Each structure stands twice: as C-alpha cells, then as structure tokens.
C-alpha cells in the first residue's frame, strides 16, 4: 500500500477520491527558502546521518554482522588464502595436525582464518585473545610454550596453533569414541568441528552435527580448500629430500657454524626442541645477503627471532622454497621488494632471543624446515 504524500495530496499513482469522499485541495503555499536554524543545523545532521549509514554498511554498529572479527582479504583470492600465513607457521600447522588422523593443516588454518583472518592484533585487554581466540580457561587447559620463547601465551601464534591442535585432537578422540559406540553418526571431521564450536555433549545429544553447528562446519571446510597447499608433502619437519648440489648462495661471509640444524636444548629457555636453522656467528654489523633471487614476503621485528626477513624463491626443483634471516641488527629490505642473489637484506645482530651476534638462517621447503647446509653445497 502506498503512503499518502504530505499535505493530503495523492502519492504518485494514487487516484483522486470522487464525490463526498473527495477532499478539497488546499491552496498552494508559496515556498520559502530555508530559515537560519535550518542552515545551521543541516550540515551537522547530514554528517550524523552519513556516519550512521557508513558505520551500518561497514558493520561497526552494535548488533550488526561487523561485530565478528574482520578478516583481511587474501591476496591470492578465494582459491588460495595462503598469502595470509607466514610460511614459518606452516610446519607448526603440520605438526599440530599430525597429532591425530582426523585433522589436516588446512583445517587448522581455516579455523584460525574463520576466527581472526590470521590477524594477530593483541589490542584487546580481556576476553578471547590471539589468532585462535582462546579465553583464560581454554588457555589454562590447552596452552603451552610451544615455540620455546619462555612464555606460554595465546597471543603467540605458534603457541596458539599448537594449542588449537591439541584441543581439536582431544575433541576428535571424544567424537570417535562416541561414533564407535553408536552414539553419533557422521563424518569425524564434521563431528570434531561441531564439537569445537558447541561441545561434545551437544553433538552426542543430537546424535550428529547439531543444527546450530552446521553453518560453522560448512564454512570452515570451505575455507580449508583455500589452504589446500598446506596439506601437501608427507615428511616430518626437516626430513624433506635435500638437494645434491648447491642451489643457494651463502648468506654470510662466515661459513663457520656455532649451532647446527637439529634437536638441541635452547641456550636461553633450556627447552629441548628442533633448532630449525643454522647459526653462523659473525661480527655485529656484518652484511647478510639473499641466498637466491626472490621476493621479500616478511620484514619486521619478532619476539623470538628479533629482526627477521623471509624471502620467497618460488619453485626450485619442484618444491616451494623460502629462506629466512633472523636476529638482524638492521633491516635493509622491505616487504614486497624483489631481491637478487647477494642483495644486502640486513646486518648481523643479536635481536630477539639470542646469546650474541650471529645469523640464524633457515630453509623452508614445501612448508617444512629443512637442513640448510646441503642447499649451500655443504655436508654439515
């Protein structure tokens, strides 16, 4: 039903009433210009209305869809969102998912994407924190110091990834037992994700994926397709096939090694874990150079690695290869910069968790940390 226009005149398309029902038209009034109050109030009203419209569209007003954490767009589009993730996190995704047969690295990546878009913003002072959104109770149950930096925090991406894996695997075990006993039916991954977003009791009560969890399950599995690259390769971190000849140039003039690739006790945290690269001791300020041409995909300070640069070399010998350069005193390259073999990336330093000036150099092959020495043509 059309609404009558102001002043009793018919709205466009409304026939005039006839006979007794017809109302007399009021004489037309001469239109006047806006008064002084209107001239003063109109600009402020326009700004207010415009702000409300913008915030509503942007989803920033309470109760709108924008209350959900914003996810940054993937550089590679819907088909591949792996550009959101620093490749140094991929081995941890694989390790976390490898703790049980139900999980895949792509699923863990999708869960983090669904919650935070891989945005490690730590501005919130309370409530769920970090890329995986653990609250205090959840972190007390699942959190550990996975990266060996001496602290256990949901705001540390590696700690959060491993904690999410532990939680998911525990839930997978619970729903597996429920399905084995005939209490529930359905795909184990679907049931695990449903238990994650609700709880195992609700999955058991429904005997399947509860209706309230269906949207989350569908969305997460759809997102997982965007991270399918992380599922490739079946080797353990550091066990990928090594090259038989030098494919990388030495990143430092110093070829001596103070700490080789492999399991060791961290000298500062005293945690025994995989030393993911090779340490080359050198004087403070010694130039650090790119081991091969590529694109800088990360160049920023980090807590454990100090000033760190990651260079993506694309495909080498059928494998996706990146190299990392850490504990630098100065960063001399920026993200997105194209570099050649020998381009100076920074200077040797001792930033982050470090016992003295040295270069911590890593090779990441198809998402796994690999021993850098064979890549440099060395046997160590």
More confident site: 65 or 200: 200
Residue 23 has pLDDT above 80, yes or no: no
Segment 24-44, tens digit of pLDDT? 444 444 445 555 544 445 555
- Cα–Cα distance measured from residue 54 to residue 96, given in angstroms and rounded to the nearest whole number: 41
Three-state SS sequence of 258-297: CECCEEEECCCCCCEEEECCEEEECCCCCEEECCCCEEEE
∠ CA 128-131-133, rounded to 5°: 20
pLDDT of residue 37: 46
Segment 327-349, tens digit of pLDDT? 999 999 999 999 999 999 999 99
Q: Is 71 exposed, middle or buried (0-12, 13-18, 19+ CB in 10 A)?
A: middle
Mean pLDDT of all residues in 90-117: 91
Mean pLDDT of all residues in 164-181: 90
Residue 228 has pLDDT above 70, yes or no: yes
Mean pLDDT of all residues in 156-181: 91
pLDDT of residue 242: 53
Of 132, 139, 101, the closest CA to residue 117 belongs to 132
Between strands 287-289 and 368-370, the pairing is unpaired
Count of Cβ atoms closer than 10 Å to residue 162 Cβ: 24
- Cα–Cα distance measured from residue 26 to residue 7, given in angstroms and rounded to the nearest whole number: 8
Cβ atoms 261, 221 nearer than 8 A: no
pLDDT band at 372 (very low <50, low <70, confident <90, very high): very high
pLDDT of residue 131: 92
pLDDT of residue 70: 35
The region that residue 369 occupies, defined by phi over 0 for left and psi between -120 and 50 for alpha, beta otherwise, is beta
Least confident of 118-132, 295-309, 327-341: 118-132
Instruction: Give, in order, the Cα–Cα distances in Å from 260 to each of 87, 158, 280, 306, 343.
Output: 21, 22, 9, 19, 24
Residue 87 has pLDDT above 80, yes or no: no
pLDDT band at 380 (very low <50, low <70, confident <90, very high): very low
pLDDT of residue 245: 61
Instruction: Give, in order, the Cα–Cα distances in Å from 315 to each of 10, 35, 137, 293, 361.
Output: 71, 70, 43, 11, 19
More confident site: 369 or 250: 250
Count of Cβ atoms closer than 10 Å to residue 284 Cβ: 12
Q: Which domains does the chain have, with CATH numbers?
A: 88-231 (1.10.530.10), 262-375 (2.70.70.10)
Query: Backbone phi, then psi, for 15, in 5-degree steps?
Result: -70, 150
Of 151, 145, 288, 336, the closest CA to residue 277 belongs to 288
Least confident of 91-95, 144-148, 308-312: 144-148
- Cα–Cα distance measured from residue 287 to residue 276, given in angstroms and rounded to the nearest whole number: 22
Residue 122 has pLDDT above 90, yes or no: no
Count of Cβ atoms closer than 10 Å to residue 178 Cβ: 19
């Amino acid at each position: 039903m059309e609404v009558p226009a102001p002043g009793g005149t018919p709205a466009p398309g409304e026939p005039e009433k006839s006979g007794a029902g017809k109302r007399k038209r009021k004489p037309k009034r001469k239109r006047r210009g806006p008064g002084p109050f209107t001239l003063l109030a109109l600009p402020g009203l326009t700004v207010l209305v415009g702000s409300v419209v913008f915030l509503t569209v942007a989803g920033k007003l309470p109760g709108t869809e924008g209350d959900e954490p914003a996810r940054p767009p993937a550089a590679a589009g819907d088909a591949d969102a792996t550009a959101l993730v620093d490749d140094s996190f991929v081995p941890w995704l694989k390790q976390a998912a490898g703790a049980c047969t139900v999980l895949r690295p792509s699923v863990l990546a999708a869960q983090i994407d669904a919650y935070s878009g891989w945005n490690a913003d730590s501005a919130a002072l309370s409530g769920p924190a970090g890329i995986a959104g653990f609250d205090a109770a959840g972190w007390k149950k699942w959190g550990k110091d996975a990266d060996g930096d001496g602290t256990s925090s949901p705001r540390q991406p590696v700690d959060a990834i491993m904690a999410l894996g532990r939680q998911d695997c525990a839930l997978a075990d619970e729903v597996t037992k429920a399905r084995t006993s005939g209490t529930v039916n359905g795909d184990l991954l679907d049931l695990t994700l449903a238990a994650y977003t609700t709880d195992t009791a609700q999955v058991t009560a429904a005997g399947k994926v509860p209706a309230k969890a269906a949207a989350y399950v569908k969305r997460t599995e759809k997102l997982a397709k965007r991270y399918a690259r992380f599922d490739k390769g079946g080797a353990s971190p550091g066990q990928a096939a090594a090259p038989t000849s030098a494919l990388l140039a030495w990143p430092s003039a110093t070829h001596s090694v103070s700490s080789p690739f492999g399991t060791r006790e961290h000298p500062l945290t005293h945690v025994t874990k995989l030393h993911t690269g090779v340490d080359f001791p050198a004087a403070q300020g010694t130039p650090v150079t790119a081991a091969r041409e590529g694109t800088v995909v990360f160049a920023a300070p980090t807590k454990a690695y100090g000033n760190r640069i990651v260079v993506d070399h694309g495909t080498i010998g059928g494998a996706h290869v990146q190299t990392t350069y850490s504990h630098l005193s100065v960063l001399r390259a920026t993200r997105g910069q194209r570099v050649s073999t020998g381009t100076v990336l920074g200077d040797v330093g001792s930033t982050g968790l470090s016992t003295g000036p040295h270069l911590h150099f890593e090779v990441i092959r198809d998402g796994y940390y690999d021993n850098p020495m064979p890549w440099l043509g060395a046997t160590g």
